[in-house]
A and B are shown apart, each in its own frame.
Chain A
Amino acid sequence: MKIDHAKPLEYSTEENRLKILGFWVFLGAEIVLFSTLFAVYFTLVNRTGNGPAGSHIFELTPVMVETIVLLSSSFTIGLGIHAMRIGAKKAMMTFFGITLVLGAVFLGVEITEFVTYVHEGATIQTSAFLSSLFTLLGTHGAHVTFGLLWGSAILFQVKKRGLTPETANKSFIFSLYWHFLDVVWIFIFSFVYLKGMM
């Protein structure tokens, strides 16, 4: 395995470079996936049937909490990657740990929010609008959940194996994934919640 020391660790081998490009392409596919879900949501947003409209169930506080938490986690994972670049394994692990904790908090708030909706009689089965809302949010939430599992697995590997071209590559790719989820959330926040509350 040829290691190119002129490049950052995560880009240092041919295999690593291929993986990063491959993941960018995968994110391209993910963009299409979420765009389709958004299109479905916008198509069905006014088709509320006998159920409540968005303006009746959306609440600003939990959504603001989710947004702040997720944005901060995107920032901390950025710090984590920076630490990784300068070879500070401890700092990197700390920032990754914080990121995952923030992700878990986000997930917790989102789940509570879902429970509240269901208590208000707004379930995924109530109307086409609610089906599309829960599916869009749920898909994002499932991505975050998967990210928590994946991120923990990587953190564990960094701890055991140190910063190698392999672990650095995985961590970097994970950070791309995490930033992507943040971007998706910004769209959800703006076009689902803010627009829905107006």
Chain B
Amino acid sequence: MKAKWFLLSIFFTLSLILSGCDNSLLVFDPKGPQAKTLSDTIIFSIIMMAGILLVVYILFTFMLVKYRASKMDDSYEPPHEEGSKWLEITWTIIPIIIVIVLSVVTVRTTSEVESKPVAYANDKPLVIYASSSNWKWHFSYPEEGIETVNYVNIPEDRPVEFRLYSFGPITSFWIPQLAGQKYAMSDMVTKINLAAEIPGSYIGKNSNFNGKDFAHMEFETQVMTEKDYEKWVEEVKETAPALTESEFDELIEPSVLGRKTYSSTHLEFSPAPEGEHAGHHHGNSDEETDSSHHMDMDMDMEDHK
């Protein structure tokens, strides 16, 4: 019977992903605590969902096999059934329980990945501003006073706080093996907290469509040992040129670029849209009272954690 084979093949494919290729898919190959949390959450949800699918598929196959007309007596007339209170309550209550379980998991894991990784709660994070322009990423290290384009180096075993914003269309900053993604927008700064635990090179990208060369907007994330990282910073400070305002203006024009390295950051002359520079403060001559913030609907997202 065709339908049955068809269903079985779907199910096999599903179980194949669950068991076989976990390790090769980026999302299931985490290199830091945040990505690990997400990977675990996803695997947990897949297992629960596979259970639901199994119930539906068994019932479905049973009904199709047992109640086909070709197997029935010609005189058989199906009964009139209004429904069953208890059955209907059952298949309302069980999904409710499943949703409650998943809600608890969601709230816990969301707050976990939104804050500093637990294992590094007491460490001072490395702050890196990651700003996007069409079609490249700019990484500014304010404390180190260096800036890179289209690649970012970070030390292992230390919390990193990426502060994201954009010089144009909305982009989404994503290093699948280290953390989930977040939008970079022009009028506010959003944050990603992560830590990397295994040195290596990981792909990072913009995942939010932003025009013609969107597909080329990738960057390399190099996780280094603390020592190598410090060495690299020193090297950049000594050898790389400073970033001038006019050069930066050229950089943010739409283009696809290779890597660049500078020994100063654009934040000095073009600060990020946070604090007094946030979007709705721009050029505001008037009193900007705190009460005004309550007027903005939750769309405004004043508090991004």
Contact = CB atoms under 8 A, between A and B. Distances in A.
A50 B296 contact: no
B286 A48 contact: yes
A47 B286 contact: no
Contact of B284 (A39, A43, A49): A49
A50 B295 contact: no
A43 B299 contact: yes
B295 A46 contact: yes
Interface centre among A39, A45, A49, A50 (most CB of B within 10 A): A49
B283 A49 contact: yes
Contacts of A42: 295, 297
A47 B302 CA distance: 14
A39 B288 CA distance: 20
A42 B297 CA distance: 8
B299 to A, nearest CB: 6
B301 to A, nearest CB: 12
B22 interface: no
A50 B280 contact: no
B300 interface: yes
Contacts of B299: 43
Contact of B285 (A43, A47, A50): A50
A191 to B, nearest CB: 11
Interface string A50-63: 10010000000000
B281 to A, nearest CB: 9
B297 A47 contact: no
A46 B285 contact: no
B283 A46 contact: no
Chain A contact residues, majority secondary structure: loop
Contacts of B92: none
A46 B287 CA distance: 10
A145 B300 CA distance: 34
Nearest to A50: B283
Chain B contact residues, majority secondary structure: loop
B80 interface: no
Nearest to B285: A50
B297 A39 contact: yes
Interface string A117-136: 00000000000000000000
A181 B284 CA distance: 34
A45 B284 CA distance: 13
Interface centre among A39, A43, A45, A47 (most CB of B within 10 A): A47
A46 B297 contact: no
B292 interface: yes
Nearest to A49: B283
Contacts of B288: 46
A49 B280 CA distance: 7
Contact of B282 (A39, A46, A49): A49
A42 B295 CA distance: 6
B283 A53 contact: no
Interface in B266-305: 279-280, 282-286, 288, 292, 295-297, 299-300
B122 to A, nearest CB: 39
Contacts of A46: 280, 288, 292, 295-296
Given A46-B280, A47-B280, A53 B286 contact: yes
Contacts of A43: 295-297, 299-300
A175 to B, nearest CB: 34
Nearest to B296: A43
24 contacts: A39-B297, A42-B295, A42-B297, A43-B295, A43-B296, A43-B297, A43-B299, A43-B300, A45-B295, A46-B280, A46-B288, A46-B295, A46-B296, A47-B279, A47-B280, A48-B284, A48-B286, A49-B282, A49-B283, A49-B284, A50-B283, A50-B284, A50-B285, A53-B286
Interface of A: 39, 42-43, 45-50, 53
**10 tightest CB-CB pairs across the interface, nearest first?**
A46-B292, A50-B283, A47-B280, A53-B286, A43-B297, A49-B283, A46-B295, A45-B295, A43-B296, A42-B295
Given A42-B297, A46-B296, A53-B286, 7 more contacts: A39-B297, A43-B295, A43-B300, A45-B295, A47-B279, A48-B284, A50-B283
